[in-house]
A and B are shown apart, each in its own frame.
Chain A
Amino acid sequence: MPKRMVTLIFPQTLIKEPVIYRLSRQFKIIPNIRRARVTEKAGELMVELDGEEEELNKGVAYLNGLGIRVEPTPGKGR
């Protein structure tokens, strides 16, 4: 199955929500958290998403819809 390395940037309003849990329940995606930074104002999660391409696309769209920014981890600007 394809794997995607992504950085999720959470707004303050979603820090208390179990977003990753819901992502894995609603879609056939296995998230593997590698690293995280959480402050009182925002959250940043480096995570590997494992699943079929279509499920990954749906999952990313779900996260975007919640207001979470999804960035490919190695693809941040110079």
Chain B
Amino acid sequence: MAKVKGLKCRECGRPYPADPLHVCEFCFGPLEVDYDYDRLRGTLTRRAIESGPPSIWRYSALLPIEGGPAVGRHCGMTPLVKAGNLARALGMREVYVKNDTVNHPSFSFKDRVVAVAVTKALEFDFRVVACASTGNLANSVAAHAAEGGLQSFVFVPADLEQGKIIGTLIYDPKLVAVEGNYDEVNRLCSEIADKYRWAFVNINIRPYYAEGSKTFGYEIAEQLGWRAPQHIVVPAAGGSLVTKISKGLKEFDRLGLLSGGCATRMHVAQAEGCGPIVTAIKENSEIIKPVKPKTIAKSLAIGNPADGYYAYKVVKESGGYGEHASDEEIVEGMRLLASTEGIFAETAGGVTVAAAKRLIEQGRIPKDESLVLCITGNGLKTQEAVAADLKVKVQIKPTLRSFDEAMASHGIEVTPRNAH
């Protein structure tokens, strides 16, 4: 594994071997993977990447695995949609939607991190994988564990959306519903991780797991013709994704893969009912104050975000900002994305669209600059959020007359065939 030098503390820089470790024993800082970029420069070319598989594994040289992928071979390379209709609705010139609602196999960006984490868990010879999850991670861990022939334990808050429960149980994991919010679930999982030799993907395998998110940034750049956009709006729960998209773009720049350098402004989107990172950005405070989540965007309902400080730093250093979205705006955002681009995103997608709308209105994202919206999960998983607003409006008898009458009574204009 010559491309990986080992792990390194994000706070004090102390080096560690590439083992299943996640916390610096000296300063308690989180560990992250450290690569030998000098070795990669020159050998990792655009052509080498383009000749790779149409998945996250085309970027294997920048992922912390020794061999090939053990699971999730079809993950990634999701569409980057040029969203002309949405751009017009937002008054923007150039908007793209990075559409991970169709990621494989479990329809969220979590497939990226879990494909890497479970591959790594197998390399470390773990037989059990586990996670604490707000839903998407649960789906993905259960699916990839099934594919990898591993036993899985998935811990979720008991009040999770039905779609995410079913979308996990179908893979036959040991699903444990915990009577508490995500932060309480995660606290419990830390204790369990200390007691059992399991690969907790977002605890003891976290440094490797988090690297999978870089592929979200790699793909954006490659799909834009090896360019970094001027703005990216990223939804934040624990805050890792925005840091890793930024890391991915900077790595590409460092390796000479980007045209025009990397001056992307990273913006964070959170719900009003759980937005500690955005609050810190607005208050200019690098200390993230934990909150008790209360939002329909349950996948983002993490009140004490592990990477909150690092997300804050990335946003500030890039010249970006953060915005909240109310529950009402979240639903409006979901509907706007669906009605303009035909993309049904989960609540986190509504948060992203709504926060972007606010940032555009404030002039923080100028209307003539390029913008990428990170849409990270599929709307079929969180139907409860919009179900109350979406009712069948027209119900008729199975006759043409009944149809015509209904059209007239609802004021819907329909043009008869012989009118042309």
A and B associate: yes
Give every chain B residue within 8 A of A9 (Cβ-Cβ). Answer: 287, 289-290
Interface size band for A: 20 to 34
A39 touches B132 (CB 8 A): no
A77 touches B238 (CB 8 A): yes
Please tell me the number of chain B residues within 8 Å of chain A, measured between CB atoms.
Answer: 36
The closest CB in chain B to the CB of A7 belongs to B28
A41 touches B287 (CB 8 A): yes
Give every chain A residue within 8 A of B309 (Cβ-Cβ). Answer: 37
Q: With contacts A34-B26, A78-B206, A78-B238 known, is A71 near B304, CB below 8 A?
A: yes
Give every chain A residue within 8 A of B306 (Cβ-Cβ). Answer: 76-78
Give every chain A residue within 8 A of B187 (Cβ-Cβ). Answer: 71-72, 75
Q: With contacts A35-B28, A78-B186, A78-B240 known, is A73 near B285, CB below 8 A?
A: no
Is B145 at the interface (CB under 8 A from chain A)? no
Give every chain A residue within 8 A of B271 (Cβ-Cβ). Answer: none
Q: With contacts A5-B23, A34-B27 known, is A74 near B190, CB below 8 A?
A: yes
Is B75 at the interface (CB under 8 A from chain A)? no
A65 to chain B, nearest CB (A): 17
Is B269 at the interface (CB under 8 A from chain A)? no
Please, what's the 1-or-0 string for A53-67, where 1 marks a CB less than 8 Å from any CB in chain B? Answer: 000000000000000
Give every chain B residue within 8 A of A42 (Cβ-Cβ). Answer: 285, 287, 289
Can you sample 19 A-B contacts with CB below 8 Å?
Answer: A5-B23, A35-B12, A37-B309, A39-B286, A41-B287, A42-B285, A42-B287, A42-B289, A72-B191, A73-B28, A74-B22, A74-B190, A77-B183, A77-B237, A77-B238, A77-B302, A78-B137, A78-B186, A78-B206
Chain B residues in the interface with A (C-beta under 8 A):
11-12, 22-23, 26-29, 132, 137, 182-183, 186-187, 189-191, 202-203, 206, 237-238, 240, 283, 285-287, 289-290, 302-307, 309
